[in-house]
Chains A and B, each alone.
Chain A
Amino acid sequence: MKASLKWLKDYSDIKLAPKELARKLTMAGVEVKDLQITGSTWNNIVVGKVIALNPHPNADRLKLATVNLGPQQITVVCGAPNISHGQKVPFASVGAQLIDGHTGKPILLKPAEIRGVLSEGMVCSEKELGISDSHEGIMVLPPEAPLGMPLRDYLGDVIFDLDITPNRPDCLSIIGIAREIASLTEQPLHLPELGYEETEALIDSFVKVDIIDPSLCSRYCASLIMGVRVTSSPGWLQQRLSSYGMRPINNVVDVTNYVMLEYGQPLHAFDYHKLEGKQIIVRRAKNGETITTLDGIERVLSPDTLVIADKEKAVAIAGIMGGSDTEVADKTTSILLESANFNQAIIRQGCRCLNLQSEASIRFDKGLNPDLPLLPLKRATQLLLELAGGKAARGIVDVYPGKLEPKGILLSAEEVERLSGLKVPLAKIFKVLKSLGFECQHADSASQILVVTSYWRSDIRCTADLVEEVVRIIGYDKVPVTRLSSPLPKQEPRLSLRAQRSNLKQRLRNILTGCGFQEILTYSLTSLERLQKLSPKFELKIPPLRIANPMTKEQEYLRTTLCPGLLTTLAHNQRIEEKSIRLFEIGKIFLPQGNELPQEKEMLCAALSGPKAELSWHGNKEKLNFFDAKGVVENLLNQLGLEATFGVSDDESLSPRRAANIIIDSDKVGIVGNLHPRVAQAFELSDAVYLIEMDIDRLLSKTIKVKQYQPIPRFPSITRDIALVIDKQVSYQQVEDVIRSFPLVKKVTLFDFYRGEQIPEGKKSFAIRIVYQSPEHTLTDEEVDIIQKQMLDRLHQELGATLRS
């Protein structure tokens, strides 16, 4: 909303400097985004009148213009094609600061000799005055511009650019803002005086108004003016519309717009003679009904749109835009002026259906007060009579099926203090609310007042609303600064699932960063293609939830796995720099559950690729491999006090036989493995990529147990190394499982793994260190020999293992 300071001054005595005023308004909730000051540099520029035009003796395109400046006349050279006799123009004398029309830079006007003629001043274009970029011709002022008046006084202004919140449609008007200023500065508000002459003939004999559904139109007011002359508006009116950024059209339309900007109530003018049956019907549009709107577009309507119809057809889209059939044109002589109240929802619905917004609809869709239409209608009728002539029919049509009895709200000083912490005497509350135009009365109880909302406000419904009004006018900066003094809520037990989960996530993040992984955060939304790329067959494991109105194909589906985001990030960074990259993300995935909200599951996903270490003189140019990834998993679980076993995984995103399920107490908590080459290719990844994925909740279920202290062993251990030769197909896990099944085995470490020349074809060799320990006594070699003998026998029987000689 743009508001001109000059216009505001019509209603309120403004003494504050514009900047301070802007600060006050902003603090009170009416945010001033920007201040545009026009004319502050206009010295030596006045309103002049072109009284003579003569050809330049030495140049065809130039003219010698004689301009009357009031006390004196001056003749200057002018090249503008649009200059003509009798025009009022802005005239700059020597010394004026202007904008150079060509370079756009500020210049100081000096006397100049142009083709042999001395020119001491100039007629200015809008660009030279810094008003706009227009430099095709001189700026022409309205004929009533006072001769000799400094241009700064005539045109200079301050335009406030305001950000009006949706609850304050009343501030989408000059009076609304002036009222805020008046209240904030404790000045009176001057409203226009209304009154005009009416004819004998009653309006009811000329027009009948029917509201089909009062819930969609709670009030419809209209006046009728006959015998008008449609012309262009006077300059002052055009200037005011321009200050808001509105284009003047004709005196009738301009008056409706002017009053809308003045009061915040949209109005519409119909050409009365074009209304069939002299009837106004407010109804929903029929399915497929068409109307050509004022912008010349033919629109097909649906019952989601409210229309104003005559006996035959829709003549306007209610509250949004008029129809061209009943548009006010030069030949129009009688005007039916509408000032109504439409339901905000139907207006919004209509705007959405038609993909159309207007100055009227942005006011109606905020919900205007149905008590508002009458005064603006009277104001517009009065202005029309003044500016377009004609005679008003007696009375006003006022169909008001939605009228509600005004309800008062009780307010006390205690309530203001209870919510705001600000002590305000009741008398002050009374005064502030009065200044905002609320009706205040002393209530039955001496400590309370009864407040009735004013006709222009639609946002005051409860005491809290009134408390805000009182506090914002007194000033939020007057609110004391205190600290919460109420008792603390019960704290969450450390062992609660919630506390443990957040603790686990924190620990995982710390462990992984400690292992050299960079944390990343990727979008929850992804593309179908990216999800499909995770499968070498391009198939989806889980159908993802789709967004009904996606912005892009890239962000169309809710992720069902963290992998695509992670792999895309990895590929992006691989392209930038070839090096060792380790990334992880902990975040939610979204698993559809029919029409319910999706299951939001927290996952951990990590990826690593490239060399084991950064390039350095220490060597180690080896690439990361599966066992680096697995080592990270083991380290991580170990730090959480968990131990996992690893079984072959058939996850299709990973290479067969190079992927493992991470199993804790026979539950799968995640996977680790080599990314399938096809998947790597699809994500445009270079280098082998290793992936770790874990389910946070499953991990949590394993870590939730309270740790139990184990006594430190008191008796010494015995260590034995064995070297086994075994079939290639037997996994190490099988061997370890057999070894661990024996009593007193405390620790099993594989310290060498060999395949090659010294071993028979089809075999491999494990060198394993076994530590034996008893919690009860010092072990003897004989005891260990017996156990180990049995162990080797079983390894032989079950797995075909022999001791390597």
Chain B
Amino acid sequence: MLKQLKELRREALSELNQVNELRELNSWRVHHLGKKSKLTQILRSLATLPLEERKKVGAQANEIKRALESGLVEKKKFLEEIHLATSLEREGLDVTLPGRPVPIGRLHPIPQVLEEICDVFKNMGFQVFEGPDVEWDYYNFEALNIPQWHPARDMFATLWVDPEMDKESRLLRTHTSPMQIRLMEKKRPPIRAIMPGRVYRYEATDVTHESMLYQVEGLAIDKDITLADLKGTLFEFSRCLFGEERKVRFRCDYFPFVEPGVEVAIECSACHGTGCRLCGYSGWIEILGAGMTHPDVLKRGDIDPEIYSGFAFGMGVERIAMLRYGIDDIRLFYRNDLRFLKQF
């Protein structure tokens, strides 16, 4: 019996050695460890053996069973590894093949830049308000110290809905500044607001001129707001949008609804201030107009200029986008050519 067991063990292990596939392994298991296998039969027949022999054969048979079982586990693990490796090899891809296209949508560059601008001011506590594109002469001009026949009307080539008659003529707003008055009519100081929107100009288009533009108007009114605060606010804006190193120029300029008036320019990106075609050889590129809200404008908003002061600014979004992306033709924005739009 022991000899038979020995033989059984040798035979089983040598067969296991030959097994190369998981399917074969299963039949090996059935054959050598299954209910009908010789080993199982021997183990079942143990009871019929005399005690002495039963002990010896039993120990031997159990030892063989354990050896075969552990051989099986090892072999199974081994074969599974091989199987996985072959199937991974088989399922390998040409990873250089292009992926499945997913339709791509992007935002127009102007709203992207507009949002950046608004974010900078929102972080400084400014709130966003919007107003109508079609305005009364009153809000666009008269209330901003530009009555009819005022020379400053030359600064705004206007598209009129009604003929230019009086303050009740309708027009397409030439700047976002009418929102200053509209806001003051509704809000009391402290006011800190930005007012983005479309503005329109009666202007033939070329590389630097468009008939429709986006502007962001700003207004801050409270006690003790100074020109120095305006300077600080706009310098901070420029720092956030154009970077620490970019030089900023803060000079006197004229807009009828502010006094003192300000123009802010940044150092030309193309020539770094030495002067080139882009900046008209001045080294500077104007980015916005600003100033301290004119006392008459405050009065029209029913705010006492002796108690309160404030500043206002207005900037063109296209100009800033052009500087940001190096765009040299403003008409590209509203031509909506996908070859242009897909770059942003």
Known A-B contacts A367-B151, A618-B100; A486 and B190 likewise in contact (beta carbons under 8 Å): yes
The reply on B262 being an interface residue by CB < 8 A is yes
Q: Are A581 and B105 neighbours in the complex by a CB distance under 8 Å?
A: no
B172 proximity list for chain A (CB < 8 A) = 524, 547
The reply on B28 being an interface residue by CB < 8 A is no
The reply on A763 being an interface residue by CB < 8 A is no
B-contacting 9-mer, from A150-158, A475-483, A797-805 = A475-483
Instruction: Across the interface, name the chain B residue whose C-beta is closest to A520.
Output: B336
A580 proximity list for chain B (CB < 8 A) = 103
Q: Are A519 and B251 neighbours in the complex by a CB distance under 8 Å?
A: no
Q: Are A418 and B226 neighbours in the complex by a CB distance under 8 Å?
A: yes
Q: Which of B202-232 contact A (CB under 8 A)?
A: 202-204, 211-212, 220, 222-229, 231-232
Q: Are A419 and B202 neighbours in the complex by a CB distance under 8 Å?
A: no
Q: Which of B100, B236, B305, B337 contacts A483 (CB 8 A)?
A: B236
The reply on B142 being an interface residue by CB < 8 A is no
B262 proximity list for chain A (CB < 8 A) = 476
B231 proximity list for chain A (CB < 8 A) = 421, 476, 479-482
A615–B150 Cα distance when bound, in Å, is 60
Instruction: Across the interface, name the chain A residue whose C-beta is closest to B251.
Output: A27
The reply on A63 being an interface residue by CB < 8 A is no
The reply on B85 being an interface residue by CB < 8 A is no
A489–B107 Cα distance when bound, in Å, is 31
Q: Which of B212, B229, B336 contacts A524 (CB 8 A)?
A: B212
Instruction: Across the interface, name the chain B residue whose C-beta is closest to A169.
Output: B151
Known A-B contacts A344-B149, A344-B151, A549-B202; A484 and B228 likewise in contact (beta carbons under 8 Å): no
A377–B194 Cα distance when bound, in Å, is 50
Q: Write the nearest CB–CB distance from A339 to chain B, whole angstroms.
A: 21
Q: Are A519 and B226 neighbours in the complex by a CB distance under 8 Å?
A: no
Q: Are A479 and B233 neighbours in the complex by a CB distance under 8 Å?
A: no
Known A-B contacts A345-B148, A481-B232, A483-B229; A598 and B106 likewise in contact (beta carbons under 8 Å): no
Known A-B contacts A548-B162, A551-B202, A617-B98; A487 and B190 likewise in contact (beta carbons under 8 Å): yes
Interface centre among B220, B254, B296 (most CB of A within 10 A): B254
Q: Are A165 and B337 neighbours in the complex by a CB distance under 8 Å?
A: no
Q: Are B151 and A597 neighbours in the complex by a CB distance under 8 Å?
A: no
B108 proximity list for chain A (CB < 8 A) = 519-521
The reply on A572 being an interface residue by CB < 8 A is yes
A520 proximity list for chain B (CB < 8 A) = 108, 336, 341
Instruction: Across the interface, name the chain B residue whose C-beta is closest to A598.
Output: B134
B-contacting 9-mer, from A223-231, A258-266, A464-472, A737-745 = A464-472
Q: Are B222 and A487 neighbours in the complex by a CB distance under 8 Å?
A: yes
Q: Are B160 and A468 neighbours in the complex by a CB distance under 8 Å?
A: no
Instruction: Across the interface, name the chain B residue whose C-beta is closest to A489.
Output: B190
A581 proximity list for chain B (CB < 8 A) = 338
A142 proximity list for chain B (CB < 8 A) = none
- 0/1 interface trace, chain B 138-174, chain A, CB 8 Å (1 if under): 0000000000111110110001111100000010100
The reply on A512 being an interface residue by CB < 8 A is yes
Q: Are B338 and A576 neighbours in the complex by a CB distance under 8 Å?
A: yes
The reply on A545 being an interface residue by CB < 8 A is yes
Q: Write the nearest CB–CB distance from B168 to chain A, whole angstroms.
A: 8
Q: Write the nearest CB–CB distance from A40 to chain B, whole angstroms.
A: 16
Q: Are A167 and B228 neighbours in the complex by a CB distance under 8 Å?
A: no
The reply on A550 being an interface residue by CB < 8 A is yes
Q: Which of A33, A422, A545, A549 contacts B227 (CB 8 A)?
A: A422
The reply on A558 being an interface residue by CB < 8 A is yes
Q: Write the nearest CB–CB distance from A517 to chain B, whole angstroms.
A: 4
Q: Write the nearest CB–CB distance from A451 to chain B, whole angstroms.
A: 15
A576–B249 Cα distance when bound, in Å, is 43
A524–B199 Cα distance when bound, in Å, is 10
Q: Write the nearest CB–CB distance from A534 to chain B, whole angstroms.
A: 18
Known A-B contacts A166-B254, A420-B227; A518 and B259 likewise in contact (beta carbons under 8 Å): no
A486–B309 Cα distance when bound, in Å, is 11
Q: Are B170 and A521 neighbours in the complex by a CB distance under 8 Å?
A: no
B232 proximity list for chain A (CB < 8 A) = 481-484
A34–B281 Cα distance when bound, in Å, is 8
B135 proximity list for chain A (CB < 8 A) = 597
Q: Are A166 and B151 neighbours in the complex by a CB distance under 8 Å?
A: yes
Q: Are A521 and B110 neighbours in the complex by a CB distance under 8 Å?
A: yes
Q: Write the nearest CB–CB distance from A37 to chain B, whole angstroms.
A: 13
Q: Are B159 and A547 neighbours in the complex by a CB distance under 8 Å?
A: yes
Q: Are B133 and A488 neighbours in the complex by a CB distance under 8 Å?
A: no
A572 proximity list for chain B (CB < 8 A) = 335-337
The reply on A513 being an interface residue by CB < 8 A is yes
B191 proximity list for chain A (CB < 8 A) = 489
Q: Which of B128, B161, B233 contacts A484 (CB 8 A)?
A: B233
Known A-B contacts A481-B232, A483-B232, A489-B190; A476 and B250 likewise in contact (beta carbons under 8 Å): yes
Instruction: Across the interface, name the chain A residue whose C-beta is closest to B146.
Output: A166
Instruction: Across the interface, name the chain A residue whose C-beta is closest to B201.
Output: A551
A-B contact pairs, 7 of them (CB 8 A): A28-B251, A31-B253, A419-B227, A521-B336, A576-B337, A576-B339, A614-B103
A518-B338, A551-B159, A581-B338 given; name 14 further pairs at CB < 8 Å: A344-B151, A418-B226, A420-B226, A464-B305, A484-B229, A484-B232, A516-B102, A521-B336, A523-B212, A547-B172, A548-B160, A573-B336, A590-B134, A617-B97
Which 7 residue pairs of A and B lie closest in terms of their CB atoms, listed nearest first?
A516-B103, A421-B228, A421-B226, A29-B252, A468-B260, A345-B149, A513-B105
Interface positions of A (Cβ within 8 A of B) = 26-29, 31, 33-34, 165-168, 344-345, 348-349, 365-367, 417-422, 462-465, 467-468, 471-472, 476-477, 479-489, 491-492, 498, 502, 509, 512-525, 545-551, 555, 558, 569, 572-573, 576-577, 580-584, 588, 590, 597-598, 600, 613-614, 616-618
